[in-house]
Amino acid sequence: MRGKRVPIAELDRAAEHGVALCEVIWALPVDEVEPVQRPPGHAGWFPRNGYPDMLAVPDLETTRIAPWHDRTAIVLCDFVDRDGGAVPVSPRAALRSVVERARAMGVEPVVGVELEFYLLRETPRSVVGKRPSQLVAVDERPSVYGVVSGSRQEPFAGAVRDTLREYGLAVEACNPESGPGQFEINLRAASALTAADEAFLLKSAVKEIAARQGLLATFMAKPRSDWPGSSCHLHLSLGDGADMRHFLGGLLAGMAELTALLAPTPNSYRRFVPYSWAATTATWGEDNRSVGVRALGTRVEQRQAGADANPYLAAAAALAAGLDGVRRGCEPPAPVDGDVYALPDAPPLPATLAEATDLLERSALARDWLGDDVVDHCIAMRRAELAAQAAAVTDWETARYLEAL
């Protein structure tokens, strides 16, 4: 979440003219140490030399009072350049474009988001220099749906439910998950853009609530190698009477080439191992949690996205694949009944960010539905992340090689 604090007396001016923000935010990696430079030959939109201003235009319908601040509201914005033209790499704009195409097809996408995260007995200062194995969770033992562990974690979980309700986010349920100190929160299904807005707001809200209790919440896909990964399951529907069979066919057909939008960092791929409950194959089945897409009556659950995914891009990618399947009349393969991890010939999904990024670059589906600017920008940022990873000397390498070699 990026933005500016604006005095209430300036709200009318901000709503009419927008708030100036530097274009550099579209080039910042997660550590924000140095902006990513325009790659050689990059023809699409990228922050311009000198990083001029763009304008953040408030969407006042998204206004919410922030319970963790004094007399403060949060308003989401859309981005335009100084001439009023859209900033084409905006994830919110990309999702809105997909929704508009869906409406032109006569359907209204509905999305329900389930997000997992870890709650740690850490602070931003305490984690500096720590190895992953030294991270301390709020609960030492995992307990899926555990009543006892849930009671121990209730001071935080209760604060989350109460605060999010006050914040205007419709939480259907929350529970301990399969990792120590891991939680899952289910948001009520809503229209696609609203659902993505609420998932985006949920992630920042959970971090704020944790910080107020002296804790640290993380939506990193896999904080420790011995902990289960954190997912972002997307429940997708097109409404009563919609063509969900061909939607399912398209969703499966597009999973591999859109993976880089659902798993955006090298760490994302630590989740994709057998018997992890994560989607490792482009398969589907009725109420089967080992497959890539779980069919549940009039809706499907896309199980590939990680908690680290941008909710706008994840929803846009999943809906684009499914809607393209409706447009083409794409038939799904036969369902899988039983343990998909035990099947040797199930169609695999990309196992690394490098593989996924190469597939995204060649994806006609992504370019058609999301646009070249979004696709090429995502490719540039992911390859920059891969370069940063390749340059890093890890704790594992030092422990393994320092003395022995």
Sign of the dihedral defined by the CA atoms of residues 92, 93, 98, 103, in that order:
positive
pLDDT at 366: 98
pLDDT at 83: 85
pLDDT at 15: 94
pLDDT at 146: 67
pLDDT at 242: 87
pLDDT at 139: 86
Sign of the dihedral defined by the CA atoms of residues 285, 290, 294, 296, in that order:
positive
pLDDT at 241: 79
For residue 142, the 8-state DSSP code is -
Q: Which two tokens stand for residue 145?
A: 């749906």
pLDDT at 57: 95
Provide the 3-class DSSP secondary structure of residue 231: strand
- 383, with CB counted inside 10 A (0-12, 13-18, 19+), is middle
pLDDT at 141: 76
pLDDT at 156: 86
Domain extents for the chain?
Answer: 8-86, 97-393
Instruction: Name every residue whose Cβ is closer than 8 Å to that of residue 403 and which is 6 or more positions away in sequence.
Output: none
Class of domain 8-86: alpha beta
Instruction: Name every residue whose Cβ is closer than 8 Å to that of residue 386 and which is 6 or more positions away in sequence.
Output: 266, 353, 354, 357
Q: Which two tokens stand for residue 85?
A: 């033209």
pLDDT at 18: 95
Query: For the chain, what is the radius of gyration of the CA atoms?
Result: 21
Q: Are 322 and 234 in contact (CB under 8 A)?
A: no
Residues of the chain with pLDDT under 50: none
Tell which residue, 330, 341, 169, has the closest CA to residue 255. 330
CA-to-CA distance for 303 and 359, rounded, in angstroms? 19
The topology under which CATH files domain 97-393 is: Creatine Kinase; Chain A, domain 2 (3.30.590)
Whose structure tokens read 């006609």? Answer: 364
